[in-house]
Amino acid sequence: MSGHSKWATTKHKKAVIDAKRGKLFAKLIKNIEVAARLGGGDPAGNPTLFDAIQKAKKTSVPNDNIDRAVKRGSGADGGGANYETIMYEAYGPEGIALLIECLTDNRNRSVSEVRVAVTRNGGTMADSGSTARMFNRKGVVVVGKEQEGRTLTEDDLLEAVLDAGCEEITDLGDEFQVIADPNDTVAVRQAVQAAGLDYESAEVGFVPDFTQPVDVETAEKVMKIIDALEDSDDVQNVYANFDAPDPDEA
């Protein structure tokens, strides 16, 4: 789940339990394999692969699994699948827009699983372009507030990334989300590193033009759809334009 919603970010983190870890690992491995196929197997010369590997490591994916994915993707080892990216669109309760990114080797399976996850949990599929127009493709770098014994402030982070192409910084509670042009993603990540800061993830995704405030009950319904979608091995990311109160404060 990606977006501005602090509530959804917190909820999603709590949901990543051992039962889901296997699926999460598989999706991160798939990202690495595709990045290696598109840009080569050397992370030093392939920033997308570098960031995909870093994200997997931070989620405790074993190094052996990562190495094998790089080899499959780069052609050094056999067995790699031919994945393609497909976007689906849907609406949740209260007209919440959903943009669903799949990475798949079987279109028919993907559309079937997405449709079932959406419609069985109170959502509706949408025509192409219906919700996509509410999102912009952006670089997103996530930086934790706790950094080596000190708490990072928004001003500290802004000073580090302003000249690298930062467009906006969003407070997600325990983390900051730095938004940039997709072409500036690597520059922002490198600026974070140059400032001696650790980062959680750096990738290109979709950011909503606006977020729609909803109550906790509606947010729960939207998250039910998102959780069902993320149970699909083909679904890599789900983007939504809702915002809700912090569940610990609501």
Show pLDDT as tens, one digit a residue, over the chain (250 residues).
Answer: 444 455 455 545 544 555 567 788 889 999 999 999 999 999 999 999 999 999 999 888 999 999 999 999 888 776 666 889 999 999 999 999 999 999 999 999 999 999 999 999 999 999 999 999 999 999 999 999 999 888 999 999 999 999 999 999 998 888 999 999 999 999 999 999 999 999 988 999 999 999 899 998 999 999 999 999 999 999 999 999 998 766 555 4
Q: What are phi and psi of 144, to 5 degrees?
A: -70, 150
Place of tokens 């405790």: 60
For the structural domain made of 136-208, what CATH number should be given?
A: 3.30.70.980
CATH topology (fold) of 6-74: Arc Repressor Mutant, subunit A (1.10.10)
Candidates 209, 149, 154; CA nearest to 177 is 154
Residues of the chain with CATH 3.30.70.980: 86-133+210-243, 136-208
User: What does pTM read for this prediction?
Assistant: 0.84
Residues of the chain with CATH 1.10.10.200: 6-74
User: 3-state DSSP call for residue 3?
Assistant: coil
- Asked if 114 and 106 count as a contact pair (C-beta separation under 8 A), the reply is no
Cβ neighbours, 10 Å, residue 162 = 12
Residue type, 25: F
CATH topology (fold) of 86-133+210-243: Alpha-Beta Plaits (3.30.70)
